[in-house]
Amino acid sequence: MKNIALFALAAGFAALTGCTTNVNTVERASPQAQPNYVADKRVVTDASLSGALRVNSVNQAVVSGNLLKVQAQLENLKSSVRAFNYRIEWYDQEGMLVSSPTEGWKLVRLQGRETTSISAVAISPRAVDFVLKLQEAN
pLDDT of residue 22: 66
Residues 14-34, buried b or exposed e (16+ Cβ, 10 A)? eeeeeeeeeeeeeeeeeeeee
35-136 adopts what CATH topology?
A: Immunoglobulin-like (2.60.40)
**What residues pair up with 35 in beta bridges, in sequence order?**
none
47 pLDDT exceeds 60?
yes
pLDDT in tens, 65-110: 999 999 999 999 999 999 999 999 999 999 999 987 777 999 999 9
Please report, as a single letter, which amino acid is at residue 36: N
Backbone angles phi, psi at 61, to 5 degrees: -150, 165
- pTM beyond 0.85, yes or no: no
Q: In this structure, are residues 120 and 61 in contact, taking their beta carbons and an 8 Å threshold? A: no
Asked if 129 and 45 touch (Cβ cutoff 8 Å), the reply is: no
**Single-letter amino acid code for the residue at 90:** W
Whole-angstrom distance between the N-terminal and C-terminal Cα of the chain?
Answer: 44
Domain boundaries, the chain: 35-136
Distance, CA of 40 to CA of 30 (rounded, Å): 25
pLDDT confidence of residue 3: 42
